[in-house]
């Protein structure tokens, strides 16, 4: 591990990555600054869809799901090269607005696309379940064990300036499997310093913006993926999670985000500042624009038996399940208006609903928040000190006091007890899945997402969770600022004060559905039914 401290300023080191990004941008598709009046663009998607950058067919391509793409490829209607080009064109301009990319991989993506097209021409078959599907990867560029999802030959830095020397030789396991299933990787995406923000800012390539409104946070830590998938610049995004880092950016960016039970999806070749921390397991999860795409992502990975290489994983194949309305009971944590609307719609669709009182979430949060940084942030401090880059406020917020080994053991014990109790309670109450908010509000300003509880509870419990658009959008007429609000706490008051009916007008409200431990398949199939009911 080389330290840049002695000879180079952290700003100069960070510039290495900025240059890689600048140099990688496909100049043929970038817009001139004068033609791109970024200050006038509120909704990036509206701009991308209506500015004529993409042809009608290209717009259809970038609106496709996995299923839709495969059908077009199988019929010979579209080539992967044409589709990849459409996504790259869109991504190039979108990135000028949103700053979600850390590096474009145009050449390798187009080469991969051509190889897939050649395969199809010669064999009239698709190479796998993700044939020609553009999938972006959460990963900055840097050195050593601190980066996140390795892409072979590329800098991997976990958003620490001091890690900008890390160039893993090979793709991370998950990237290998996705490519083997036929995916192409058009670009890599941004993440926050230390990877532990529900936001997406760092001292290297800076802040990613939300496609719905650039003043809003894209969420995090998979915020680059939230912005990229939310603006339809990739069909699927590979996010990572330890506290809601997939569901949160998905929910902020009008996308779908799935956090599986830990130790199912491959994670070899991912290492942040918490490598070897096992008390709360991180995991990889997909972001997309449809529920079905999440299932296809999981199936494509787990059908390849990743546990036979990555022995840390649980050897559980993806099961094909069929959840029916008759067999499903949805517990609802009724907390706000969107949930009340959802309750009515579920009932109207004939799905059984029960109110579900949260069980001791404060106790769960107390356990998990002490376990995340049991080392007291020793590695984070070391990674920052090595370059001299300043610590961002949200990095600081996540840190905690160091634990002794004995304290760590005691908290592990308490965590398991809490998990058992919660699982038993769901059974006792006869609830299969729990519908709940994805966040305290519909979104947050840049740097202002401070509450992990809504999503982190499912990491504490190691239960799978998916966030997705509820079908309801914020309406300043129906959702005015509440003047007689009685806050339950200071935090509550601050959150209510942050609600701005003008700012959030028209922003889609996402919702979260959590399943039982290791019932990932049942969760996603139930989520299809719930979504169908909500959108009816």
Angstrom distances, CA of residue 424 to CA of 154, 455, 474, 524: 46, 20, 36, 21
Give the DSSP letter of residue 254: T
If the CB atoms of residues 233 and 411 are measured against a copy of itself, the closer one turns out to be 411
Dist CA 526 CA 325 (whole Å): 8
Q: Could you say whether residue 517 binds a copy of itself (CB under 8 A)?
A: yes
Q: Could you say whether residue 405 binds a copy of itself (CB under 8 A)?
A: yes
If the CB atoms of residues 309 and 348 are measured against a copy of itself, the closer one turns out to be 309
Between residue 276 and residue 305, which ones bind a copy of itself under the rule CB under 8 A?
A: 276-279
**What are the phi and psi torsion angles at 235 (to 5°)?**
-80, -40
Least distance (Å) from a copy of itself to the CB of residue 3? 18
Q: Which stretch binds a copy of itself (CB under 8 A): 33-41, 230-238, 333-341, 375-383?
A: 375-383
x/- string (CB under 8 A) for a copy of itself, residues 316-355?
Answer: x---------------------------------------
Q: Over 239-251, what HEC string results?
A: EEECCCCCHHHHH
Encoded tokens for 24: 């990688």
DSSP structure string for 157-199: -TT-GGGTT---SS--HHHHHHHHTT-B--EEE---GGG--SS
Q: Could you say whether residue 3 binds a copy of itself (CB under 8 A)?
A: no
Give the CA diameter of the chain.
Answer: 69
Least distance (Å) from a copy of itself to the CB of residue 395? 18
If the CB atoms of residues 402 and 501 are measured against a copy of itself, the closer one turns out to be 402
Dist CA 392 CA 195 (whole Å): 11
* Helical packing angle, 520-535 and 291-302, nearest 10°: 160
If the CB atoms of residues 158 and 511 are measured against a copy of itself, the closer one turns out to be 158
Least distance (Å) from a copy of itself to the CB of residue 534? 29
Q: Which of 151, 158, 246, 274 binds a copy of itself (CB under 8 A)?
A: 274
Dist CA 294 CA 524 (whole Å): 8
If the CB atoms of residues 289 and 516 are measured against a copy of itself, the closer one turns out to be 516
Q: Total residues at the site for a copy of itself (CB under 8 A)?
A: 42
DSSP structure string for 337-383: HHHHHHHHHHHHTT-EEEE----SHHHHHHHHHHHTTTTTTHHHHHH
Encoded tokens for 279: 């008390």
Q: Which of 375, 479, 495, 525 binds a copy of itself (CB under 8 A)?
A: 375
Q: Which stretch binds a copy of itself (CB under 8 A): 155-163, 284-292, 407-415, 442-450?
A: 407-415
Q: Which of 11, 12, 46, 416 binds a copy of itself (CB under 8 A)?
A: 416
If the CB atoms of residues 62 and 261 are measured against a copy of itself, the closer one turns out to be 261
Angstrom distances, CA of residue 447 to CA of 393, 395, 397: 8, 11, 11
Strands 101-104 and 187-189, by their bridges, are antiparallel
Q: Which of 356, 518, 521, 533 binds a copy of itself (CB under 8 A)?
A: 518
Q: Could you say whether residue 169 binds a copy of itself (CB under 8 A)?
A: no
Q: Could you say whether residue 379 binds a copy of itself (CB under 8 A)?
A: yes
Q: Could you say whether residue 358 binds a copy of itself (CB under 8 A)?
A: no
Q: Which of 408, 425, 429, 498 binds a copy of itself (CB under 8 A)?
A: 408
Angstrom distances, CA of residue 123 to CA of 78, 103, 130, 192, 514: 16, 33, 17, 43, 42
Q: Could you say whether residue 403 binds a copy of itself (CB under 8 A)?
A: yes
Q: Could you say whether residue 401 binds a copy of itself (CB under 8 A)?
A: no
Exposure letters 417-453 (e unless 16+ CB within 10 A, then b): ebbebbbeebeeeebbbbbbbbbbbbbbebbbbbbbb
Angstrom distances, CA of residue 75 to CA of 125, 145, 311: 10, 44, 39
x/- string (CB under 8 A) for a copy of itself, residues 444-483?
Answer: ------------------x---------------------
Q: Under the rule (CB under 8 A), what is the footprint of a copy of itself?
A: 268, 271, 274-279, 307-312, 314-316, 374-376, 378-379, 402-406, 408-413, 416, 419-420, 423-424, 427, 462, 517-518
């Amino acid at each position: 591990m080389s330290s840049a401290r002695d000879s180079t300023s952290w700003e100069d080191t960070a510039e290495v990555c900025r240059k890689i990004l600048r140099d990688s941008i496909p100049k043929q598709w970038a817009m001139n600054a004068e033609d791109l009046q970024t200050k006038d663009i509120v909704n990036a998607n509206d701009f991308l869809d209506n500015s004529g950058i993409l042809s009608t067919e290209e717009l259809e391509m970038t609106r496709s799901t996995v299923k839709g793409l495969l059908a077009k490829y199988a019929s010979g209607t579209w080539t992967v090269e044409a589709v990849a080009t459409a996504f790259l064109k869109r991504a190039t301009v979108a990135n000028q607005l949103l700053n979600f990319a850390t590096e474009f991989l145009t050449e390798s993506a187009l080469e991969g696309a051509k190889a897939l097209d050649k395969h199809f021409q010669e064999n009239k078959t698709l190479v796998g379940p993700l044939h020609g599907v553009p999938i972006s990867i959460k990963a900055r560029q840097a050195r050593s064990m601190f980066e996140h999802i390795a892409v072979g030959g590329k800098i991997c830095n976990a958003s620490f300036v001091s890690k900008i020397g890390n160039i893993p030789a090979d793709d991370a396991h998950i990237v290998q499997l996705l490519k083997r299933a036929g995916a192409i990787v058009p670009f890599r995406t941004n993440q926050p310093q230390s990877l532990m923000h529900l936001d997406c800012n760092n001292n290297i390539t800076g802040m990613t913006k939300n496609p719905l409104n650039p003043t809003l946070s894209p969420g995090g830590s998979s915020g680059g993926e939230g912005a990229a998938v939310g603006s339809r610049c990739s069909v699927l995004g590979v996010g990572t999670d330890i506290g809601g880092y997939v569901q949160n950016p998905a929910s902020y960016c009008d996308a779908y985000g799935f956090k599986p039970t830990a130790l199912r999806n491959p994670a070899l070749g991912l290492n942040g500042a918490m490598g070897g921390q096992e008390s709360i397991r991180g995991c990889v999860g997909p972001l997309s624009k449809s529920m079905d795409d999440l299932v296809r992502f999981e199936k494509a990975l787990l059908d390849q038996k990743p546990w036979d290489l990555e022995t840390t994983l649980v050897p559980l194949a993806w099961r094909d399940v069929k959840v029916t309305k008759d067999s499903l009971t949805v517990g609802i944590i009724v907390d706000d208006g969107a949930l009340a609307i959802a309750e009515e719609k579920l009932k109207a669709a004939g799905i059984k609903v029960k109110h579900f009182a949260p069980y001791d979430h404060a106790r769960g949060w107390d356990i998990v928040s002490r376990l995340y940084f049991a080392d007291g942030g020793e590695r984070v401090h070391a990674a920052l000190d090595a370059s001299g880059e300043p610590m961002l406020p949200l990095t600081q917020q996540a840190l905690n006091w160091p634990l002794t080994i004995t304290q760590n053991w005691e908290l592990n014990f308490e965590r398991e007890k809490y998990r058992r109790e919660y699982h038993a309670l769901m059974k006792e109450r006869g609830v299969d899945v729990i519908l709940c908010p994805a966040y305290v509000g519909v979104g947050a300003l840049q740097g202002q997402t401070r509450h992990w509880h809504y999503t982190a509870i499912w990491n504490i419990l190691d239960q799978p969770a998916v966030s997705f658009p509820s079908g309801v959008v914020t309406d300043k007429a129906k959702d005015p600022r509440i003047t007689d609000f009685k806050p339950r706490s200071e935090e509550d008051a601050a959150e209510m004060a942050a609600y701005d009916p003008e700012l959030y007008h028209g922003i889609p409200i996402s919702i979260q559905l959590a399943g039982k431990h290791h019932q990932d398949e049942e969760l996603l199939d139930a989520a299809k039914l719930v979504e169908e009911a909500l959108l009816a």
